Chains A and B, each alone.
Chain A
């Protein structure tokens, strides 16, 4: 499988915050979720790979081409959905489209019209009259109407109600079905990724924590519930984090079978992506302290 995006050794400093030696890749044909808590570096990473920030070191390759020297060519093949507020609110949808469409060599007006109809958007409506969900759909209509091979989205589901989020996920599935080579989207709402992602990349404190296929990742981790009596210095080492109460403990581990050897009567559960993300964040905090 070819990679449609390869990032290696990406560094970027913003005051006290820094992206540290970020490396990851997006395989062809995958929906990749980019997860992390607020302030983890998701948006900074996306902006850096899109050339929106300065003084970035590292290598960024899209479709096998170096970003330096091929920026326009690469961006012509990417659909972009940034977080909220990236339009001039006083323009109509048609006017904003007329600003964006000429940037793309492969703009397909018919695709745009089809998306506008599918999303029930009126071109004469002003952007400031659209709801959050409608804005997201409009942003998608613009991002998908130039035969984009890769769709990059920054927190697209943030602030959307469950119905719109579900519609958005269906649109992404359709896009992949129609020949899209990949979707890369950052989010802290991990439940969306449970439904749709093939690959997950986690960032925390400006560092990549893991990149794994979703199913593999969910298989690797286990939630263990048991009696606190079984916890000792040796067994605690197996856990990323442990929550203790009067009734027992709940912990997340990557070494489920090792834990079960020591705690035969403990219960195991499959974790969610959110459980894994939060456990990693807490573990990293402890390691720092």
Chain B
């Protein structure tokens, strides 16, 4: 059941999946060209943020356009819980594809550096935190009100990342160098998964209490 619902998410945004795949492939080399000092980790994290939020937003837009389609799905034997969880799985799959695409990028453009587990884990943490707020807000407040959250995240992320990766700010993250790569990776993944799980529980609660049109 869950697989079919995840497939449905991809089906309703099938027009944009190809475009986002190309964009996610191009962001790191473009950054390598424009901002070589921050191309690796920042390029990958931006790719993940853009891909997940753009596709999630398209899915939400389509569901906003066809609200009765969600009503029909809920009238079928699909539990509402599964309908919510499919969205979280959808994001995890996009994240996995972004990892794969960036891995290919690093082979084609060796100047991007190596794609290690720490980079993947930190990007995972960075994406799960805003998503963990976004989904419950979406189920509680609806698409119209939450689209502003999306706009803020998309607009602010390049500026925020440029700030964080400036050499004068890098010192604040130097403490991370004293912690082993494996510890950072494990911690990031655990914190990300816990946040994501709490978020999923909240989203399920909100969706189960909602009146469908």
Contacts and interface: CB of A to CB of B under 8 A. Distances in A.
A and B associate? yes
A146 to B, nearest CB: 9
B76 interface: yes
A100 B76 contact: yes
Nearest to A76: B77
Interface string A75-87: 1100010111111
Contacts of A113: none
A80 B211 contact: no
Contact of B212 (A52, A71, A75, A80): A52
Contacts of B4: 98-99, 102-103
A238 interface: no
Q: Report which residue of B7, B69, B77 has the largest number of chain A beta carbons within 10 angstroms of its beta carbon.
A: B77
Q: Report which residue of A51, A83, A99 has the largest number of chain B beta carbons within 10 angstroms of its beta carbon.
A: A99
A86 B68 CA distance: 4
B71 A99 contact: no
A204 B3 CA distance: 42
Interface in A90-108: 90-91, 95, 98-100, 102-105
A82 B211 CA distance: 15
Contact of B79 (A47, A72, A102): A72
B78 A53 contact: no
A80 B75 contact: yes
A47 B212 contact: yes
Contact of A86 (B8, B72, B77, B208): B72
A112 B66 CA distance: 24
Contacts of B1: 102-103
A86 B69 contact: yes
A52 B76 contact: no
Interface residues on B, range: 20 to 34
B154 interface: no
B8 A99 contact: yes
Contacts of A72: 77, 79
A90 B12 CA distance: 7
Contacts of B72: 80, 82, 86-87, 100
A103 B211 contact: no
Nearest to A105: B77
Given A47-B212, A72-B77, A102-B1, A86 B71 contact: yes
A52 to B, nearest CB: 4
A14 interface: yes
B74 interface: yes
Contacts of A104: 76-77
A50 interface: yes
A95 to B, nearest CB: 5
B71 A52 contact: yes
Contacts of A86: 66, 68-69, 71-72
B210 interface: yes
22 contacts: A51-B74, A52-B71, A52-B74, A52-B75, A52-B212, A54-B209, A71-B77, A72-B77, A75-B77, A80-B75, A80-B76, A82-B75, A85-B66, A85-B69, A86-B66, A86-B71, A87-B72, A89-B66, A99-B8, A100-B76, A102-B4, A103-B1
Interface of A: 14, 47, 50-54, 71-73, 75-76, 80, 82-91, 95, 98-100, 102-105
Given A52-B212, A103-B4, 17 more contacts: A50-B75, A51-B74, A71-B77, A75-B75, A75-B77, A76-B77, A80-B76, A83-B68, A86-B72, A87-B66, A87-B72, A88-B12, A90-B62, A98-B11, A99-B4, A104-B76, A105-B77
Interface of B: 1, 3-5, 7-8, 11-12, 15, 62, 66, 68-69, 71-79, 208-212
List 6 tightest A-B contacts by C-beta distance, closest first. Answer: A102-B4, A86-B68, A103-B76, A86-B72, A75-B77, A52-B212
